Amino acid sequence: MIFFTSDLHFCHDKDFIYSPRGFSSIEEMDRAIVKTWNEIVGFRDEVYVLGDLMLNDTERGIELWNSLAGNKYVVPGNHDTERKIALYRECPDTVILGDAARFKYDKYSFYLSHYPTMTDRMYPGDHLSSKLINLCGHTHTTDRFSDMDKGIIYHLELDCHNNRPISIDDIIEDIKGYIDKCERFI
């Protein structure tokens, strides 16, 4: 199975990160992310993480990262410095993709980036399979469709997905459902 997420922010000990996610401390958030991730993701699954893996305590952050199941693919975010990227490269089951990447699944095409990026627009009668869909993170929005007025931009932050990775099939169905309900696409 293939999953996506972004903005783990392991070890980022700031209330504005963990509190809106429903946690009383960074330690509680970090433990919950690992537990939930490993309940969902199997060791043979693939997970694309679109940036901001950790801050501050990189030793602990790498320990947490290495405890996550699956083969992990990383598109670095604004907090993923060159030093951290070098550390990620040394981790098992981790591949660094670059600042952005294209991804094809079934008949759908995606542009993976940490930052929201306008790649395409939907117009009445268009088919989602003919579009380039941006999957992103960065803003810590709780509304995964917050940038759909700018293009086909779908947010993957933990903040808008109950602190868990989301499968590619669920992403596609979620976007289709949004488009079906939105009057401007009908």
Tell me the pLDDT of the chain (186 aa) as tens digits: 999 999 999 999 999 999 999 999 999 999 999 999 999 999 999 999 999 999 999 999 999 999 999 999 999 999 999 999 999 999 999 999 999 999 999 999 999 999 999 999 888 888 999 999 999 999 999 999 999 999 999 999 999 999 999 999 999 999 999 998 886 664
Point out which residues pair with 134 in neighbouring strands: 111, 153
- Residue whose C-alpha is closest to residue 140's, from 25, 4, 3, 6: 6
CA distance 68 to 127: 35
β 166-167/100-105 pair status: unpaired
* Residue 109: φ, ψ to 5°: -120, 135
Tell me, what's the pLDDT at 183?
A: 66
What is the count of structural domains for the chain? 1
Tell me, what's the pLDDT at 148?
A: 94
User: Can you give the pTM of this predicted structure?
Assistant: 0.96
**CATH number (domain holding residue 145):** 3.60.21.10
Tell me, what's the pLDDT at 126?
A: 87
Pull the structure tokens for residue 17. 């990160």
Tell me, what's the pLDDT at 117?
A: 97
The whole domain housing 36 covers 2-185
